[in-house]
Amino acid sequence: MEPCDYLVVGAGSAGCVMASRLSEDSRKSVLLIEAGPSADYFWINTPAGMGPLFLNKRYNWAFTTETVPTLGGRTVYWPRGKTLGGSSSVNGMVYSRGHPMDYDHWASLGNEGWSYRDVLPYFRKSECNERGADAFFGGDGPLAVSDPVIRHPSTQDFVAAAVRNGIPEIRGLNAPPYEGVSYQQFTIRGGRRESAYTAFVKPVLHRRNLTVLTGVQVLRIVLRNGEATGVEVIQDGARRIIHAAREVILSAGALASPHLLMHSGIGDAGQLRKFGIQAARHLPGVGQNLQDHWFAPFLMRVTPDSSYNGHLVGWRKYVEGMRYLLTRRGYLAMGSSAVSAYVRSTPDQPQPDLQLAIRPMTSNFLPSGQVVVDPEPGMSGATVLVGPKSTGHMALKSADPLAAPAFHPNYLGDEDDIRRTLIGMRLFRRILATEPLSRRIVSELAPGPDAVTDDQLLDHLKQAGSTGWHQTSTCKMGRDEMAVVDPQLRVHGIGRLRVVDASVMPRITRGNTSAPTIMIAEKAADMIRKSPLPPWQAAPR
């Protein structure tokens, strides 16, 4: 298998798609490398396992940011998947494409071929939507997309209360009009998590031209005469070089891909010199433009019939567990927040910039990392700013490629982000206070009834707010001086090297980022297959 034609680094949401699609050509060999272990674990395959996986360092990189001045000096925990499927094996499984204007904006920045009209076919290509195929949804793709198995009465009342506040109820959030309140869809197949690995790679492992390696840590990209010729790895405790005859495809994610570029001498030359790394290509945008979604959490004590906490505590949790094992249904087959509203903070916003989400359960993490459902009936919710203006950056902390970089997210660094999130928090409260949902609310525990003024709500947003775990845009696509890749996702100035993952987004999409990342990989694989590079002439045989 060496040299392979295509070497894909990272078996996450993008890497699994790349390996699957490129290996459809039986004449080309594909090697997929993953640093983490296999995904053969009960809680990975169980939708409710996102809680137990949240702090599990075997399957989670468990990053932590540097102190964030805009949050009063807090650090923020950033879970990222470390297994086959990457973060699609540990996330909340929400299938959200974002808004069409997101992609039209990408195209307007000089990224031809990335408008919504251009990318819609690739969303449809990947999708096997249980609602069937039409002009917007795919019906026979590898990735299962399904509706919630349970529509809890509390979520139905949330929809009704939102409508009474002027938010229209719509059939779905991934088709016109893209604005309103509706049930979300999830990457769940038959009650089991559908990760990028189970959808795209596992069904084609029989292909003789596809090899998947786990437990292999990539240290750097090997460059020769301005081209990528392979990667240096640690495998079974030893360093070795793995060669690629045609292309190296970096799909390690928005945090690891820029990190690997820097350790390969691709980044800001001045910063690299500080760590003794000779610059092979000065690209100052590597690691810059870091974006994420930040949300304000809500916690409510509710009437017993308004929460499914009671089904997941005491002896009832064993009944629920048996129900899941026998039927693949019930509360263990649920993804994260089943219903969401996408709204504009003000009428002059060109598209929705806020997401309001609710879930009829509450839980806590013990110091051991174990997740425990609250014994009292509770409901959780969130106001998410899906159109942030704030951007941060990441940087090297060490010359050791195994040392995590420094993450500086700069949450709420733009005053307009604060203003719009506060508007969303007040709207969320109005929905909670509206019938029929209001009759279910016993009390608001967080932010709490004493948090009334903007300053008090802002304090909650800073102290209790959290990330949507949607880090993107650190190797942005474009043609300006801070761009890292071109519209074909080729690294500027380096041959035979592409970045294909969420890091290439010029701006973060207005929704969860797993589905757009899969789309990016579908489009990238298509571009590569339509215009394959000839084998590198000096590649060892």
Shortest CA distance to 109 belongs to which of 485, 512, 472? Answer: 485
Q: Is 132 annotated as a binding residue?
A: no
3-state secondary structure of 298: strand
Token readout for 540 is 């060892």
Contact 185, 227 (CB under 8 A): no
Residues noted as catalytic: 470
Report the alpha-carbon distance of residue 443 to residue 302 in Å, rounded.
7
The β-bridge relationship of strands 294-302 and 441-446 is: antiparallel
Cα(338)–Cα(48) distance, integer angstroms: 13
- The Cα–Cα gap between 398 and 261 comes to 14
Task: Please name which of 417, 383, 409 lies closest in space to residue 473, comparing C-alpha atoms.
Answer: 409
User: Residue 440 and residue 299: Cα distance in Å, rounded?
Assistant: 13
The Cα 283–Cα 481 span in angstroms is: 8
CA-to-CA distance for 356 and 340, rounded, in angstroms? 5
C-alpha separations of 52 from 189, 364, 460 in Å: 20, 11, 26
DSSP letter at 61 equals -
If DSSP codes are grouped into helix, strand and coil, which group holds residue 528? helix
Distance CA 236, CA 220 (A): 17
Q: Check the annotation: does 91 bind a ligand.
A: yes
Helix (H), strand (E) at residue 233 = strand 227-235
Across 393-416, b (16+ Cβ under 10 Å) vs e yields: bbbbeeeebeebbebbbbbbbeee
CA 91 – CA 508 distance, rounded (Å): 17
Say if residue 485 carries a ligand binding annotation.
no
477 belongs to an annotated ligand binding site: no
CB atoms within 10 A of CB 450: 8
DSSP per position, 411-423: TT-SHHHHHHHHH
Q: Are 309 and 377 in contact (CB under 8 A)?
A: yes
Q: Any bridge partners for residue 60, and if so which?
A: 81
Residue 501, helix vs strand vs coil: coil
222 is in an annotated binding site: no
Residue entry with tokens 């071109």:
486
**Dihedral class, residue 190 (left if φ above 0, else alpha if ψ from -120 to 50, else beta):** left
Q: How many CB atoms lie within 10 A of CB 177?
A: 11
Residue 216 assigned to a binding site: no
Q: Quick check: 174 and 95 in contact, CB under 8 A?
A: yes
Q: Please check if 72 is assigned to a binding site.
A: no
Q: Residues at the annotated binding site?
A: 91-94, 218, 469-470
Q: Residues at the annotated binding site for FAD?
A: 91-94, 218, 469-470
